[in-house]
Structure 1
Amino acid sequence: MRAATAARRAASAAVLAVLLTAGCGEGSGKPSGEARSTSSAAARHPATRAPGGQATSGTFNSSDIGWIQLMIAMDDQAVLLLGLVPGHSSDAEVEKWAKPVATACRGELARLRKLLARTGVPDTNPHEGHDMPGMVTEDELRTIGRAKGTAFDALFLAAMREHLDQAAKIAHSERSAGADPATRKLAASVERTSRTWRTGLP
């Protein structure tokens, strides 16, 4: 039984590593569909460790740290995207959906940064400039920000759909591969809310 449990945890850790690092090539343009979520190993980016390889506090492992860092990077961009809705959307349902999601996303970011502070890892973005699943790039933000009305709504909803899908996937993997109880608890919350918001998309 122990061997089977260890094997499952090892497999989950491998899945999380792929999800955390897939598609991190800079300036490569995002592949579409299944190819995008299974980017080649050459484009992978390892999770950042504490400076000098020092031990982090608490019970964090590399999966915990990698997930926290990736979710912060993804949510930072999602908050910027959600902030475009007022003044750009022509759909009252989109505006109604986006407002509580933006509030919840900011709260999620605050919880993630508290966890990051506990790890002892600097609050820097190792994924800055990377093109990866679920991450709204600066180019995409500019493109979406130039759109208005129905064109904006279509681009916005597509980007949020991808963000929420990926957030739920990596949160599910963190629940299995992570070690810190508080981080795994937040991952469970992220998975649940991401799926709920995804279902409620206009």
Structure 2
Amino acid sequence: MIAALHEVLVQHCRLLGREAPAPGPVLREDGRPGRVDLMLSRAARHRKGERHQLVVELKRPGVILGMAEFSQISSYAEAVMSDDRFRDPAVTWDFWLVGNGMDDALRQLAHQTDRVPGCAVWAPTFRIMVKTWGEIIEDCQERLRFHSEQLEYQSSTEHAMDYLVRNHGDTVAELVGDGTIPAPRHTGATVTQ
């Protein structure tokens, strides 16, 4: 979805259940309208009425992210944060700049020791993140690895049947007796018939 910042405002108001916004374009500091590549939104899981908006600026594979590209995403953040029509205390924003590579100056800005990796700007109501596709994929793989290790879960039919017989033996005793459900593998589980 490529849309003008005004369309981002319209979608923002719609998601919050507001009336259509007052007419007039959303402009960047230089007076030009911005065009975002992607806007995503999610409702907060544990706090009713809170919402998080994500605006993503994607760059072509040959573009090395630098201060010019950072200035573009920063101007989107500034346009949104300074326009009263966007204002809502229950909404936070992330503005992401994503590309294949990043120059050293921008990498230094986006990887400061007091912030999460990729966070170039942090404010109470918004962040500007700068990431390469490689960093995004690596982060996702690490989260998957962490969750897999924490859960130590391997689903199988045998595990499911063992659970069923162990925890609901009285209910399924007849099915175990006639062979419909296999008897538990573990000797500690018994079925009363």
Q: If the length of structure 2 is used for normalisation, what is the TM-score?
A: 0.23
Structure with the higher fraction of residues in helix conformation = 1
Q: If the length of structure 1 is used for normalisation, what is the TM-score?
A: 0.22
Report 1 or 2 for greater relative contact order, CA contacts < 8 Å, sequence distance ≥ 6: 1
